[in-house]
Structure 1
Amino acid sequence: MISMPQRLNTPRLTLRVPGGGDAEAIFAFASDAEVTRFMTWARHVDLDDSSDFLDDVAEGWSSGEDYCWLIEHAEHGGIGTVACSFSEHGAEIGYVLARSVWGQGFGREAATAVFDAAQSIDDLYRIWATCDTENAASRRILEGLGMIYEGCLRRWSPRPNHADRKAGPRDVFMYAWTR
């Protein structure tokens, strides 16, 4: 079992374990069609979806394999989530941010905090992430973390909220950092 900090602080953000009281904050961005366009999970249609998500997050923390933090900003409140999942391949990171805060560097700031925490695990040799080939903002975050582009994985991942969802799995770019 891998242990990750329950709270991470950056100059502008607090990353913390989300709880049952965070369903409305999560629903605010997880129900936005534009925000969820490139996500691998279905857009939330009601608060029950967000509550179910929070149950999954609690289970992930308990298992020691899947960690998700709520990204909080002093002025804006809960503005997104950032996650780190562990497997035999290493650690995978991912993030999602409310549209109202796009372009302000919060994604990179939150991802950096989690990336640094994972990178400090001595026997972790690979941290990786994928992003949809159309998601230029996510590419910039991954490159900003110092991850290296490894290639394009063709028809790798369904995007249930994308306009092309009926075309099947979409191409993604693979990025990774290795020790």
Structure 2
Amino acid sequence: MQHLPESLATERLMARKLKYEDAEEIFYAYASKWEATRYVSWPVHQSVADTNKYIRQAIADWEAGLAYNYSVRTKMDNKLIGSVGVVNDRGNVQVGYIMSPTVWNNGYATEAVSGLLKKLTTWKGVYRIWTFVDTGNVASQKVLQKTGMVEEARLVKWFRFVNQNNQPRDCVLYRWPNG
């Protein structure tokens, strides 16, 4: 499989490969915010050093073709507002995203994920595009539905979210209907 491009664009957003110079913005925009990170797989960051470690791993994963993580910025003012990305397991592609609480309810998550899905549908070798979300994360479920992803299954005690006391949580599995 080929690599994804280092940048993507939508009407209001630019997404580009994570870079070390993004660390401080990422930390303050969402990585240090419990309300933003409560439904992600990694612990809330305590310092910019934690964010730098995350970026180091993201860059290594990109180069290895394992995962592709983008910073998401508004075109209007170049403000970093979130991240979108994929984990690639030989064409079985999991989508993920996070947005700063300061921009919630503006359609940015839907737009960023839709832009990524559009690119993934042209990526050679992809046979499945999917993600999962905690059943309590209703806002994220709405985002996925707006992008065209469809619910595939309810998963009992599927995942331990580190920022949810590491207890097994029920999740909803979504898939892209054409992949």
Do the structures match in fold with TM over 0.5?
Answer: yes
- Distance in 1, matches of 2:9 and 2:68, equals 16
SS at match of 1:45: coil
What does residue 111 of structure 1 align with?
A: 113
One-letter identity of the residue aligned with 1:173: V
Once the 2 structures are TM-superposed, how far is the Cα of residue 87 of structure 1 from its aligned partner? 0.8
What does residue 145 of structure 2 align with?
A: 143
What does residue 172 of structure 2 align with?
A: 173
One-letter identity of the residue aligned with 2:125: D
What does residue 121 of structure 1 align with?
A: 123
Moved more, 39-48 or 113-122: 113-122
Structure 1 gaps, min length 5: none
Once the 2 structures are TM-superposed, how far is the Cα of residue 76 of structure 1 from its aligned partner? 6.2
One-letter identity of the residue aligned with 1:105: G
Alpha-carbon distance change, 88 to 123 in structure 1, aligned in 2, over 3 angstroms: closer
SS at match of 2:63: helix
One-letter identity of the residue aligned with 2:20: G
- Distance in 1, matches of 2:9 and 2:15, equals 6
Once the 2 structures are TM-superposed, how far is the Cα of residue 44 of structure 1 from its aligned partner? 0.3
What does residue 96 of structure 2 align with?
A: 94
SS at match of 2:51: helix
Structure 2 gaps, min length 5: none
Percentage of identical aligned residues? 31
SS at match of 2:55: helix
- Distance in 1, matches of 2:12 and 2:31, equals 22
Moved more, 137-146 or 46-55: 137-146
CA contact (8 A) 1:118 1:124 kept: yes
Once the 2 structures are TM-superposed, how far is the Cα of residue 89 of structure 1 from its aligned partner? 6.2
What does residue 2 of structure 1 align with?
A: 2
- Distance in 2, matches of 1:131 and 1:60, equals 22
SS at match of 2:70: strand
Alpha-carbon distance change, 60 to 72 in structure 1, aligned in 2, over 3 angstroms: same
What does residue 13 of structure 1 align with?
A: 13
- Distance in 2, matches of 1:11 and 1:83, equals 18
What does residue 57 of structure 1 align with?
A: 58
One-letter identity of the residue aligned with 2:6: Q
What does 1:75-86 align with in structure 2 at a 5 Å threshold?
A: 75=77, 77-86=79-88
The TM-score normalised by the length of structure 2 is 0.93
- Distance in 2, matches of 1:159 and 1:12, equals 31
SS at match of 1:35: helix
Once the 2 structures are TM-superposed, how far is the Cα of residue 78 of structure 1 from its aligned partner? 0.7
